[in-house]
């Protein structure tokens, strides 16, 4: 048997990689090494879930005084101190990165602060010039934001950049309609930025339940976000000093407007390694003919797997159209000694999923217990304002499969209705007509993410509508409606 430096070499110190490395070392007693070329903790901790959620919390305070005053308080909102918040945020992220480093160290994982690529089926080449061999290699390199292939796109920022802004822009154009675009639209609006959002599709949050996303779009508009669907940008450039139009650039001259339009409409996306000069206002022309100047433009137009220039194809690993590493149900690639988990496989790109895939990998490869990852009925949240919690099938997807009954209610929640606010919440169950199983649950409400975690347990257990009905309501709450809806709104 070949003598390797390690039993396992993990490439990528994010959610999935760190969990797999420390469980393989700590629980399975494997000799493990891990390479990380940026910061430990990865996307979730450094430039995703964690800093974003802290920004959600920060942004929600802007509405507090209004509501509190209706309850008899005498509060004024004051102003938001971005640099004070950002410095606390950085301190917190430094602390968390240290926690991740310590977790690895305390589990006996050897770490390399380096970029790693594959040299052969058992060998990793590090950017330090070293090579290391391992019986098994795990690729957990995550993904990165992409910019549209549009001249001057480097004048825009991507989600990674938000957390490093020196000052908050006064106005921003957000391009995209996915959860990251919508969350940042709400966050920045809450922090006092004038937000315009363009999405080329007919409705934001594609893939989620139609009624739920419709309500969120309406609430975002009601709160003052200028959301334009069916709209895209066709041209952008640095704004002239008087903000009246673009400063002509070399790339404008090299490419006619119609060619530029075709490119942005294709939304193909290019690698985000063009860190251009992003200071100064940006002039934008959109498909609706409007020309406007924004202090910043944020591209939230998708993410691609980090799989390029890693020597994958040379070793025989197969990748898909977007660069995702193709794996079987046990996360094994086309090469027996190499596995891949998390966003780089582009299955379900969420932190808890990457972690589960990491743990299932350790069971399979190190504990003689082949474990396939269960990707069904994953609860998730969209941290817009209002928030959405969702699990299972949307009404539209369920209807494609079988006949369903839809139970749905929308109302003004007590807390803000008392303050005269127009906010509405939505509670919805999609139920199989044949066997009464709850196929999907969709909640739009403050703290919907907290609610859906618990509904997710029941639905994962196969709860029927009658199981929900048998459960006594918790009163007075918003979520009690989920167990008190008696009559289907429609059968479809």
Farthest-apart Cα atoms in the chain, separation: 76
Q: Is residue 453 within the footprint of ligand FAD (CB under 6 A)?
A: no
Q: Is residue 295 within the footprint of ligand FAD (CB under 6 A)?
A: no
For ligand FAD (CB under 6 A), the number of binding residues is 34
State which of positions 54-73 bind ligand FAD (CB under 6 A).
none
Residue of the chain from 5, 37, 252, 480 that contacts ligand FAD (CB under 6 A): 37
Using alpha carbons, list the distances in angstroms from residue 170 to 196, 260, 297. 11, 27, 11
Question: Please, what is the minimum distance in Å from the beta carbon of residue 350 to ligand FAD?
Answer: 3
Q: Is residue 104 within the footprint of ligand FAD (CB under 6 A)?
A: no
Q: Toward ligand FAD, which CB reaches closer, 127 or 435?
A: 127
Q: Toward ligand FAD, which CB reaches closer, 249 or 453?
A: 453
State yes or no: is 442 an active-site residue. no
Question: Please, what is the minimum distance in Å from the beta carbon of residue 288 to ligand FAD?
Answer: 27
Q: Is residue 342 within the footprint of ligand FAD (CB under 6 A)?
A: yes
Q: Toward ligand FAD, which CB reaches closer, 37 or 226?
A: 37
Which of these segments, 32-40, 59-67, 228-236, 332-340, binds ligand FAD (CB under 6 A)? 32-40
Which residue in 122, 243, 442, 475 is the catalytic one? Answer: 475
Q: Is residue 177 within the footprint of ligand FAD (CB under 6 A)?
A: no
Residue of the chain from 11, 55, 204, 430 that contacts ligand FAD (CB under 6 A): 11
Q: Is residue 116 within the footprint of ligand FAD (CB under 6 A)?
A: yes
Q: Is residue 49 within the footprint of ligand FAD (CB under 6 A)?
A: yes
Which of these segments, 103-111, 348-356, 439-447, 460-468, binds ligand FAD (CB under 6 A)? 348-356
Q: Is residue 305 within the footprint of ligand FAD (CB under 6 A)?
A: no
State which of positions 213-252 bind ligand FAD (CB under 6 A).
none
Q: Toward ligand FAD, which CB reaches closer, 297 or 406?
A: 297
- Sketch the per residue contact string, 120 through 159, with ligand FAD: x for CB under 6 A, - otherwise: --------------------xxx----------------x
Residues in touch with ligand FAD (CB under 6 A)? 11-17, 35-38, 42-44, 48-49, 52, 115-116, 140-142, 159, 180, 306, 310, 342-344, 349-352, 354
Known catalytic residues are: 475
């Amino acid at each position: 048997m070949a003598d390797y430096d390690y039993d396992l070499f993990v490439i990528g110190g994010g959610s999935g990689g760190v969990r797999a490395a420390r469980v393989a070392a700590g629980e399975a007693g494997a000799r493990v090494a891990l390479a990380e070329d940026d910061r430990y903790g990865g996307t979730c901790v450094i430039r995703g879930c964690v800093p974003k959620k802290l920004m959600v919390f920060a942004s929600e305070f802007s509405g507090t005084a209004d509501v509190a005053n209706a309850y008899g308080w005498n509060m004024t909102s004051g102003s938001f101190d971005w640099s004070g918040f950002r410095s606390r945020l950085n301190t917190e992220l430094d602390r968390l990165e240290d926690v991740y480093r310590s977790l690895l160290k305390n589990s006996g994982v050897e770490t390399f602060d380096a970029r790693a690529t594959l040299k052969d089926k058992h060998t990793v080449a590090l950017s330090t010039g070293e090579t290391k061999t391992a019986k098994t290699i795990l690729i957990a390199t995550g993904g990165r934001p992409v910019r549209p292939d549009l001249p001057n796109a480097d004048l825009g920022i991507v989600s990674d950049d938000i957390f490093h802004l020196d000052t908050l822009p006064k106005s921003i154009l957000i391009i995209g309609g996915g959860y990251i675009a919508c969350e940042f639209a709400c966050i920045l609006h809450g922090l006092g930025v004038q937000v315009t959002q363009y999405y080329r599709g007919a409705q934001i949050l594609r893939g989620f339940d139609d009624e739920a996303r419709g309500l969120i779009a309406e609430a975002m508009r009601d709160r003052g976000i200028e959301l334009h669907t069916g709209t895209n940008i066709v041209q952008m450039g640095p704004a002239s000093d008087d903000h009246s139009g673009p400063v002509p650039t070399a790339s404008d001259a090299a490419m006619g407007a119609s060619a530029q339009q075709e490119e942005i409409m294709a939304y193909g996306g290019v690698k985000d390694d063009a860190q251009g000069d992003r200071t100064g206002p940006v002039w934008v022309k959109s498909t609706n003919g409007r020309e406007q100047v924004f202090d910043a433009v944020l591209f939230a137009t998708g993410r691609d797997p980090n799989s390029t220039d890693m020597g994958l194809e040379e070793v025989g690993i197969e990748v898909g159209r977007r660069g995702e590493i193709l794996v079987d149900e046990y996360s094994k690639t086309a090469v027996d000694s190499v596995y891949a988990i998390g966003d780089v496989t582009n299955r379900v790109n969420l932190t808890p999923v990457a972690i589960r895939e990491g743990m299932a990998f350790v069971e399979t490869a190190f504990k003689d217990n082949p474990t396939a990852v269960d990707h069904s009925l994953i609860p998730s949240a969209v941290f817009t304002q209002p928030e959405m919690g969702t699990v299972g099938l949307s009404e539209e997807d369920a209807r494609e499969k079988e006949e369903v009954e839809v139970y749905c209610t929308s109302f003004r929640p007590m807390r803000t209705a008392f303050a005269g606010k127009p906010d509405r919440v939505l509670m919805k169950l999609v139920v199989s007509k044949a066997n009464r199983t709850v196929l999907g649950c969709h909640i739009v409400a403050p703290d919907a993410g907290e609610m859906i975690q618990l509904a997710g347990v029941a639905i994962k257990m196969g709860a029927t509508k009658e199981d929900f009905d048998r459960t006594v309501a918790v009163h007075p709450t918003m979520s009690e409606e989920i167990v008190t809806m008696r009559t289907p709104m429609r059968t479809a």
